């Protein structure tokens, strides 16, 4: 293994990008509300560094409200083709406006427009209502760049635990756990399968 969990993540992620049939950057994001009720959904990793793992969303969504209530989340990457998974737990911080703006500018125009048209996680009376809102947003921004909505941004999960799990025969799996001990230092150990 490695004494640097980010170097190991980069290696495993690079291998997954070659072997996973689609969405090798898909990760389960687990949050909990103020009462401790857990919730999990799939999101896409859009950047990573020793400062954390970044994803983007509507800040009025359930996940964003739960992050605001608790401030912590867990991530899970599962790459079936490699028989590997990575579990990450940590504090969640908002990315700065410049980072959010830069990423938003790389999205397809329809994805940008969809961020304006959607009241993510709120009840929707019919698909037609959403499609009409999308058309209205298309007309609003016709012939001009689509700015990032004020309610849309990114989050960075700053990890305090990262576990690398490798499938082995007869359920004799290999588990390596990294626990942060300082800004740039980690303790590494093994876990029973």
Which residues are identified as catalytic? 171
Token reading at 172: 């004799």
Cα end-to-end distance, the chain, whole Å: 16
Neighbours of 191 (CB within 10 A): 11
Q: How far apart are CA 177 and CA 187, in angstroms?
A: 8
| Residue with tokens 């390596």, as numbered in its chain | 176
Q: Say how far apart CA 19 and CA 17 lie, in whole Å.
A: 6
- Looking from the CA of 136 toward its CB, the CA atoms found within 13 Å total 10
**CB 121, CB 58: distance < 8 Å:** yes
Burial profile 122-138: b = 16 or more Cβ within 10 angstroms, e = fewer: eeeeeeeeeeebbeebe
List CB contacts of 160: < 8 A, sequence separation 6 or more. 89, 90, 91, 179, 180
């Amino acid at each position: 293994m490695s004494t640097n969990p980010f170097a190991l993540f980069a290696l495993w992620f690079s291998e997954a990008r070659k072997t996973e049939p689609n969405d090798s950057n898909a990760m389960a994001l687990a949050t909990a509300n103020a009462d401790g009720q857990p919730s999990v959904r799939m999101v896409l990793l859009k950047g990573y560094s020793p400062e954390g793992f970044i994803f983007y969303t509507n800040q009025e969504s359930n996940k964003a409200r739960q992050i605001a209530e608790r401030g912590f989340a867990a991530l899970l990457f599962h790459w079936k083709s490699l028989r590997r998974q990575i579990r990450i737990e940590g504090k969640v911080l908002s990315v700065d406006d410049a980072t959010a703006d830069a990423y938003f500018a790389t999205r397809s125009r329809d994805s940008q427009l969809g961020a304006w048209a959607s009241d993510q996680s709120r009840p929707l009376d019919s698909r037609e209502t959403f499609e009409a809102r999308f058309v209205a947003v298309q007309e609003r921004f016709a012939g001009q760049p689509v700015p990032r909505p004020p309610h849309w941004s990114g989050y960075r999960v700053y990890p305090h635990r990262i576990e690398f799990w490798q499938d082995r025969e007869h359920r004799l799996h290999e588990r390596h756990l990294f626990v942060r001990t300082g800004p740039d230092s980690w303790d590494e150990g093994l876990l029973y399968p």
